[in-house]
């Protein structure tokens, strides 16, 4: 996933060659479902260049507009457009307070998981109902932005990269600040010395690079990230919360070592009791494992794939053998009641967001989740011919 999280969200390689792949069009405009909502709510659409100009340098103090990521929190944490705030459409009332200090006339741009994602117009309309007068939508959303620019990631993602040595971590603050305290393993490349120190970056332009500085108001990490993107580095990320958030979360720095209590960590199970291969993230199925089974038409009978999109989306195309339950419109109890019994359930949708939400809805209701999972993947189908790009796990 040339994406993070998040989706941060990077697409994994397909297994084999899909003979039908040329039949599935890459979306270049909002789907009918999305367009109907945009027109119904009378929302203005903006493009990548408009958003790029709106966020200015990328740090929160410099933006001309407030960006709202309408995807689930886990998607937001894995990778979001720099400076964005998170208001998931299904938890609007819970997250809406992030705008408490934003004037009603301030320009707000809402986006989500691309041209087939309805979350952004839904959140945009709710903001208009709250009295915001200048609300727009960026329909191409995170997928397009991720291809053209860099993403902002959460502390949890940086921690995972650091612990597993998966990325080069760069401190863009002055060298004196670096010497005082930094994230263990980081190297110092101050933005003011960037031209002189550019040779310290990897030759391989596909290496993951995470840049940070002094927090959300600091533009130094964004300066370095923009320069790296202009030089052709493909997997550049900014840890915009920076060293302040790292310290606040209790993580060790070079000036402070966290006391580690040695505990026996239980071995993580690889399969569910029924035999489903588990993914790295809590509640996820191993996406590549399931994708191969789907494409080979060999999904075991104990697995029931449940497509949680709308009925219209489901009719357009879906994974062979899947059933349709629009989970977003029903309660946790109703959802559980509709699920087939004595099956291992795997939720799926078009970008992974609604599947995660369906799983989270049941988990939050304290139901038994031992055989209920989600597939975090970008899926586009024509009839039963599906292109599946598995999203990179956080861990």
Residue pLDDT, tens place only, 111-158: 999 999 999 999 999 999 999 999 999 999 999 999 999 999 999 999
Q: What is the C-alpha to C-alpha distance for residues 24 and 27, in angstroms, rounded to an integer?
A: 9
At 268, the pLDDT band (50, 70, 90 cuts) reads confident
Strand 377-382 relative to strand 385-390, pairing: antiparallel
* pLDDT computed for residue 19 by the predictor: 35
Handedness of CA 284, 288, 289, 292 (dihedral sign): positive
Q: Average pLDDT for residues 166-184, to the nearest whole number? A: 95
pTM for this predicted structure: 0.82
pLDDT tens-place string over residues 56-73: 989 998 899 999 999 999
pLDDT digits (tens, 9 = 90+) for 155-173: 999 999 999 999 999 999 9
DSSP at 393: P
Query: Do residues 7 and 114 touch, judged by C-beta distance below 8 A?
Result: no
pLDDT band at 27; cut points 50, 70, 90 = confident
The whole-number pLDDT of residue 237 equals 98
Read off the pLDDT of each residue in 35-49 and give the average, rounded to a whole number: 97
pLDDT at 43: 98
CA distances from 240 to 67, 221, 303 (A): 15, 7, 40
What is the reported pLDDT for 64?
A: 95
Predicted confidence (pLDDT) at residue 196 exceeds the cutoff of 90: yes
pLDDT at 26: 72
Instruction: Categorize the per-residue pLDDT at 13 as very low, low, confident or very high, splitting at 50, 70 and 90.
Output: very low
For residue 122, give both structure tokens: 């839904």
| pLDDT reported for residue 184 | 96
pLDDT at 201 exceeding the cut of 80:
yes
Percent of the chain exceeding pLDDT 70 equals: 90
Q: Distance between CA 101 and CA 390 in Å, rounded? A: 37
**Model confidence band, residue 7 (pLDDT cutoffs 50, 70, 90):** very low
């Amino acid at each position: 996933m040339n994406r993070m999280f998040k989706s941060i969200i990077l697409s994994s390689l397909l297994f084999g060659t899909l003979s039908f792949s040329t039949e599935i069009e890459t979306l270049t405009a909002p789907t009918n479902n999305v367009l109907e909502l945009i027109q119904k709510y009378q929302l203005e659409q903006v493009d990548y260049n408009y958003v790029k100009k709106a966020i200015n340098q990328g740090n929160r103090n410099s933006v001309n507009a407030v960006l709202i990521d309408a995807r689930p929190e886990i998607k937001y944490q894995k990778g979001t457009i720099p400076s964005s705030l998170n208001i998931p459409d299904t938890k609007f009332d819970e997250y809406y307070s992030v705008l408490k200090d934003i004037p009603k006339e301030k320009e707000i741009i809402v986006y989500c998981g691309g041209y087939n994602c309805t979350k952004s117009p839904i959140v945009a309309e709710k903001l208009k109902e709250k009295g915001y007068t200048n609300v727009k939508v960026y329909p191409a959303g995170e997928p397009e932005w991720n291809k053209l620019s860099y993403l902002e990631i959460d502390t949890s993602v940086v921690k995972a990269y650091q612990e597993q040595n998966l990325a080069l971590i760069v401190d863009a603050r002055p060298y004196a600040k670096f010497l005082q305290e930094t994230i263990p393993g980081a190297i110092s490349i101050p933005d003011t010395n960037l031209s002189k120190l550019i040779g310290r970056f990897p030759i391989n332009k596909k290496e993951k690079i995470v840049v940070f500085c002094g927090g959300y108001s600091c533009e130094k990490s964004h300066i370095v990230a923009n320069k790296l993107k202009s030089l052709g580095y493909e997997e550049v990320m900014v840890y915009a919360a920076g060293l302040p958030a790292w310290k606040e979360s209790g993580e060790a720095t070079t000036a402070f070592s966290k006391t580690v209590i040695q505990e026996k960590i239980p071995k993580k199970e690889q399969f569910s009791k029924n035999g489903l291969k588990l993914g790295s993230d809590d509640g996820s199925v191993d996406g590549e494992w399931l994708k191969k089974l789907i494409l080979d038409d060999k999904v075991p009978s104990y697995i029931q794939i449940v497509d949680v999109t709308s009925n219209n989306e489901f009719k357009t195309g879906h994974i062979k053998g899947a059933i349709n339950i629009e989970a977003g419109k029903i309660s946790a109890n109703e959802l559980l009641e509709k699920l087939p019994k004595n099956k291992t359930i795997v939720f799926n949708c078009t970008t992974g967001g609604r599947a995660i939400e369906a799983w989270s809805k049941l988990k939050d209701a304290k139901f038994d989740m031992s055989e209920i999972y989600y597939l975090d993947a970008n899926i586009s189908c024509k009839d039963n011919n599906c292109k599946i790009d598995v999203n990179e796990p956080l861990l």
